[in-house]
Amino acid sequence: MSSYSPMPNQFFKEFCQPDLNTNPIYGLIHKAIDSDTRLNFLEEIEEKKQPIQAKIKSGGQGIRQVDAWRLPIESYIGTQLNYIILDLNETFNYRLSCIQDIQYLEYKEGDYYDWHSDVSDGLSSLRKISISYVLNDDFQGGDLEFFHGGETYVINAKEESLIAFTSFINHRVKKVTQGVRKALVVWVNGESWR
């Protein structure tokens, strides 16, 4: 069990309640983010990022190679994400309680994240929505791929492009072949999947 345990966010309690008369939607949402917001995110990342040790092993194999930093949830980025998540949940229609974590990742040449799901045991069993927001497009490789329903889907996310998806969908980031892929990743929690 992770020692990092976020508290429920009053914002989600007040503004982000699902419509219980409508079924939830499982899948992916592609959302454009304006360039001013992206530039403000990049500025705050440089000011507030704190290095963390990224999990690299799973079952004895190297599941990922990437540099990772944590960002404070109580921040400009966290506030903007609250409103973005509110908008996204108009489609997903999930019971949400808080942003679990915000991380900034840099994938250099040869870096990757192999096939995985963001839902596991412990704290990650509460993940409902995963977000990947690519902050630049001056790199090659590093495609975000999803495997769902027996099909593989490739997302060539460019800057100002945010991908939100149901956290149990298998996905990966292929090896970066040139440059550095910079991205924010966010997990939004709710009740445990049952």
User: Do the beta carbons of residue 5 and residue 98 sit within 8 Å?
Assistant: no
- pLDDT (tens digit per residue) in 89-113: 999 999 999 999 999 999 999 999 9
pLDDT at 160: 66
Residue 17 has pLDDT above 50, yes or no: yes
User: What is the pLDDT confidence band of residue 13, given thresholds at 50, 70 and 90?
Assistant: confident
Q: Hey, what are 103's tokens?
A: 């991380």
- pLDDT (tens digit per residue) in 121-171: 888 899 999 999 999 989 999 999 999 888 998 887 666 679 999 999 999
Residue 148 φ then ψ, to 5°:
-150, 135
Residue 7 CA to residue 69 CA, distance in Å, equals: 20
| Three-state SS sequence of the chain | CCCCCCCCCHHHHHHCCCCCCCCCCCCEEEEECCHHHHHHHHHHHHHHCEEECCCCEECCEECEECEEEEECCCCHHHHHHHHHHHHHHHHHCCCEEEEEEEEEEEECCCCEEEEECCCCCHHHHHEEEEEEEECCCCCEECCEEEEECCEEEEECCCCCEEEEEECCCEEEECCEEECCEEEEEEEEEECCCC
pTM: 0.89
Residue 68 CA to residue 86 CA, distance in Å, equals: 26
Domains of the chain plus CATH, in order, are 26-178 (2.60.120.620)
